[in-house]
Amino acid sequence: MTKYIINGGKRLNGEVTISGAKNAAVAIIPAALLADGPCRIENVPKIIDVTLQLEILRELGVRIRLLNSTTVEISGEAVGGSKVPYELMRKIRASYYLIGALLGKYHHAEVAMPGGCNFGGIRPIDQHLKGFRALGATIETREGGYIVADAPDGLKGGHVYFDVVSVGATMNIMLAAVLADGQTVIENAAKEPHIVDLANFLNSMGADVKGAGTDIIKIRGVPKLHGGTYSIIPDQIEAGTFMAAVAATGGQVLIKNVIPKHLECITAKLTEMGVEIDEFDDALLVRRMGDLVKTNVKTMPYPGFPTDMQPQLTTALCLAKGTSIITEGVWDNRYRYTEELTRMGANIHVDGKIAVVEGVEELKAAPVRAYDLRAGAAMVIAGLAARGVTQVEQVTNIERGYENLVEKFQAIGADMYRAEIPEGDTSLPEAK
């Protein structure tokens, strides 16, 4: 079993460089299927979810070359057909983008219901399916949880109004619509930076997508897309995670390769909490020397405060003076990790979508679990801030979405390492 061993209680200092955005990469990789020529994608993060997404394309017979550690070339047809194996689909939530990409290019997709992070109970895709139907596809659910989407005569542009703001449904309908016949209008679209990144990628291949980043996206279908070279934007949530870590531990870190505009929703909250943040063109200097103070926050679709930063911010708020109120406005159940923080001495009461955090003087080390990706990032932050040696289990959940997290934290002064510990060994490893 792999664990992170963290000897906490030290301030972070130095510089860290942010990788490409996970939630853009996992959509842009399947989007490359839509092109007739090779797509060279740069700034691809080295994370498990990207590896899985590339594996799915390989299974479909797509040719993939890794040109260097962060550049991948995706070319060729999906000669292996349009059926995605269940075993791969269930490992990654973002495999649902294969439906839009395959339906758009081949007018047929057979995919199992997606898997992914285990927070939030049910994660429906009804809005995705509603959108495909609006473009003329028929959708059938077959035995074994397979969804079969068909449009034998090709997709036709249509009008899609989403009942909820959904990142995945917005991107999936964009994928399906770029090669459809006529214009598609998406209303109540999500506005996250990765929506704009996907639109920019598609447009760089010859698509006609307008309005990405607003709540109405208009897509005029084109007969074909060509290949090209595209660089993925930096990861907003990875940057935010380091910002929250500095807030929790204190210290000063220059966070490089970021788009400060994408981080304003996070910067605003941390500033209220007493963190000093200087903005440069593509970097942020984050400093916390004095006490942290409480704040209230509600997660919302972009440009609101991101739900994917809720566990990390809550962890920092555990150490703030005063009582903070956190409202989860996107997912039904994203507080499971608070049980772990409570075991570290945090004072948190959860009632439905609301968590009330009473700040404490310090957190104490404990063995904790990374229940999901962002919960795992929160455990690392808690371990870095806590006195003593914290062990974080189930770190695969973290490595699904963070590139070299341990090495990046080590480089800014964290005393932590990755340890292989035999099953059943409960002795506490020493800090190195």
Whether the Cβ atoms of residue 104 and residue 135 lie closer than 8 Å to each other: no
Whether the Cβ atoms of residue 237 and residue 194 lie closer than 8 Å to each other: no
For helices 97-106 and 22-31, angle between their N-to-C axes, nearest 10 degrees? 20
CA distances from 312 to 21, 319, 366, 377 (A): 17, 12, 17, 7
| DSSP 8-state code for residue 34 | G
Residue 401 contacts ligand EPU per CB under 6 A: yes
| Burial class, 28, CB count within 10 angstroms (exposed 0-12 / middle 13-18 / buried 19+) | buried
Instruction: Write each residue from 328 to 347 as x if it is in contact with ligand EPU (CB under 6 A), else as -, in one continuous string.
Output: --xx----------------
**CA atoms 122, 128, 131, 135: torsion sign:** negative
Q: How far apart are CA 160 and CA 95, in angstroms?
A: 22
Minimum distance between the CB of residue 100 and ligand EPU, rounded to whole angstroms?
A: 12
Minimum distance between the CB of residue 15 and ligand EPU, rounded to whole angstroms?
A: 24
Chosen residue from 7, 82, 95, 166 binding ligand EPU by CB under 6 A: 166
**Cβ-closest residue to ligand EPU?**
168
Query: Toward ligand EPU, which CB reaches closer, 30 or 104?
Result: 30
Instruction: Write each residue from 120 to 139 as x if it is in contact with ligand EPU (CB under 6 A), else as -, in one continuous string.
Output: ---xxxxxx-----------
DSSP H helices, 67-223, are 86-89, 97-106, 126-134, 167-177, 193-204
Interface with ligand EPU by CB under 6 A: which range of 2-10, 135-143, 167-175, 349-357? Answer: 167-175
Minimum distance between the CB of residue 281 and ligand EPU, rounded to whole angstroms?
A: 26
Interface with ligand EPU by CB under 6 A: which range of 33-41, 102-110, 165-173, 212-220? Answer: 165-173
Cα radius of gyration (the chain):
22
Query: Toward ligand EPU, which CB reaches closer, 190 or 365?
Result: 190
Q: How far apart are CA 419 and CA 121, in angstroms?
A: 30
Query: Toward ligand EPU, which CB reaches closer, 15 or 332?
Result: 332
Restricting to residues 64-103, name those near ligand EPU by CB under 6 A.
Answer: 93-94
Residue 44 contacts ligand EPU per CB under 6 A: no
318 annotated active-site: no
For strands 216-220 and 228-231, give the pairing.
unpaired
Which residues contribute to the site for ligand EPU (CB under 6 A)? 23, 26, 93-94, 117, 123-128, 164, 166-169, 190, 307-308, 330-331, 373-374, 401
